[in-house]
């Protein structure tokens, strides 16, 4: 995994071609890159992100951001009630409580 300017990429190795290649994750647009060495790969990733940002500027459009910090989750009403109750008992908003649970889950 690589990160640059808030964008994250997955990296793989193509043994037949002898190259490392990657793709920027969580965008509708496809942004890819490749290199024969780790240094080449890093530079290609940075160049691809910079090219993507320049392309968006040339179109007068804001670049797509991988995450806004907001997401909607649809759950069973009984689970919703239980989660909201836990949040209230913890004296937290539902958002703050869920964020804490999610942070614990990814650690």
How many residues does the structure list for the chain? 107
- The secondary element (H helix, E strand) that includes residue 20 is strand 19-24
Structural domain boundaries in the chain: 2-59, 77-106
**Residue 67's pLDDT is what?**
73
Distant-in-sequence, close-in-space partners of 6: CB < 8 Å, separation ≥ 6: 65, 66
* Global pTM exceeds 0.85: no
How far is Cα 89 from Cα 9, in angstroms, rounded to an integer? 39
Per-residue pLDDT of the chain (107 residues; tens, 9 = 90+): 999 998 999 999 999 999 999 999 988 889 999 999 999 999 999 999 999 999 999 999 999 887 778 888 999 999 999 999 999 999 999 999 999 999 999 99
How far is Cα 83 from Cα 91, in angstroms, rounded to an integer? 12
């Amino acid at each position: 995994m690589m990160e640059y300017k808030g964008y994250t990429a997955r990296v793989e190795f193509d043994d037949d071609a002898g190259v490392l290649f990657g793709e920027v994750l969580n965008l509708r647009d496809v942004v890819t890159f490749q290199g024969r060495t780790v240094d080449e790969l890093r530079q290609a990733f940075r160049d691809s992100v910079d090219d993507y940002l320049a392309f968006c500027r040339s179109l007068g459009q804001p670049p797509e951001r991988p995450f806004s910090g907001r997401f909607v989750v649809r759950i069973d009403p009984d689970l919703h009630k239980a989660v909201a109750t836990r949040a209230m008992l913890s004296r937290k908003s539902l958002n703050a409580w869920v964020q804490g649970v999610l942070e614990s889950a990814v650690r």
